[in-house]
Amino acid sequence: MPKVVRQKRNNVSQGLSDAAAKTKAAHSIFKMNTDIGQHVLKNPGIAAAIVEKAELKQSDIVLEIGPGTGNLTAKILEKAKKCIAVELDPRMAAEVTKRFQSTPYQKRLDVILGDVMKTELPYFDVCISNTPYQISSPLTFKLLATSPAPRSCILMFQREFALRLFAKPGDKLYSRLSVNAQMWAKIDHIMKVGKNNFKPPPQVESSVIRMVPKNPRPQINYEEWDGLLRIVFVRKNKTLRSSFIGTMSIMDMLEGNYRTWCAQNDIPVEDGPAEVANDDAMVMDMGEEQEQAPEEPADEVMDMDDDDVPDFFKEETNARIEAALKNGASRKKRGKVAELVREKVRQVLEDDTNLGEKRARMCDENDFLKLLWAFNQKGIHFN
């Protein structure tokens, strides 16, 4: 009679180790890709608080950007009519879809696979997002440009970026971003979120803000508005007079824009060399290029990243200015149009707005609107 083959105990342990290996392999599939900002919010209390601050209605359609494994999505589906989740990572899109299969929430979840910055967004009432930090700025302005505008956006950002969004005149982080965002929306800080509330933990602290787009939107030309802000915030601690009249490249650009505006509106331009070339004015202007607020360190004067600096600023260097001063270089003779534009800029800054001696970091939204309107009235444009 043949012997009965009994399963050895070590076979059982081998089976357990195989199962553990498979589990480990499954987990490794969902290793977070921090290169695209994958830091999953793991604290259910924070997730619940974020959704609570959104003040969702049962009829709301919610846009969620970067749902990850669906921790925020679950809280949203409890409150809203529908959740549209935009996910870049196919693994995460599959995971969040699988999580709500065979549940009452399945029909109320719509997962869109793709890059939110390249995706045409469907209609939504509220946006809730644990935002990948790499797209914080472009996403903010894409949401503000959405039509019809959402009722509100509850967004998680890197803390420093969030502080820049709602910084006020005089604050250290007040910048072009602050003015631009606050022109189109009312922005409030909701809560701080520590690193340990994420998996894996990011290297920076986070903050949640509420952004409520203004309705109706301000009736201004965005290119003109942003063009003005780019000039004044390249050196936000310089006086506005120095930012304009004291910067040769700016005056050259404004002269070109003025000529274009005159041509488009059939306004004759008297060209030719100006009668007087004031050498002292040139030296004064070039000296103003070096102006900084005495209370701010030099390395804090530059407000924007290099990519945000207009091309015409990159052509000017301190070495060139210092060499011109050292050699006593005189001002080249300006044409009549250049002198006319210079006088128009002076009138705007000193006579019409009285903002010539004010610094950009101390100006508010109304100051910049007043400045833009006065420039446009004299045919000076920035787009």
Nearest by Cα to 368 from 265, 201, 229, 220: 229
Flag whether 130 is marked binding.
yes
Give me the residue label for tokens 């909701």: 190
Please give the backbone phi and psi of residue 219, each rounded to the nearest 5 degrees, phi first. Answer: -90, 70
Flag whether 367 is marked binding.
no
Flag whether 66 is marked binding.
yes
Q: Which amino acid is at 35?
A: D
Q: Which amino acid is at 374?
A: A
Flag whether 252 is marked binding.
no
Q: Which amino acid is at 57?
A: K
Flag whether 87 is marked binding.
yes
* CB neighbourhood size of 122 (10 A): 11
Q: Which residues are annotated as a binding site for S-adenosyl-L-methionine?
A: 39, 41, 66, 87, 115, 130
Q: Which residues are annotated as a binding site?
A: 39, 41, 66, 87, 115, 130
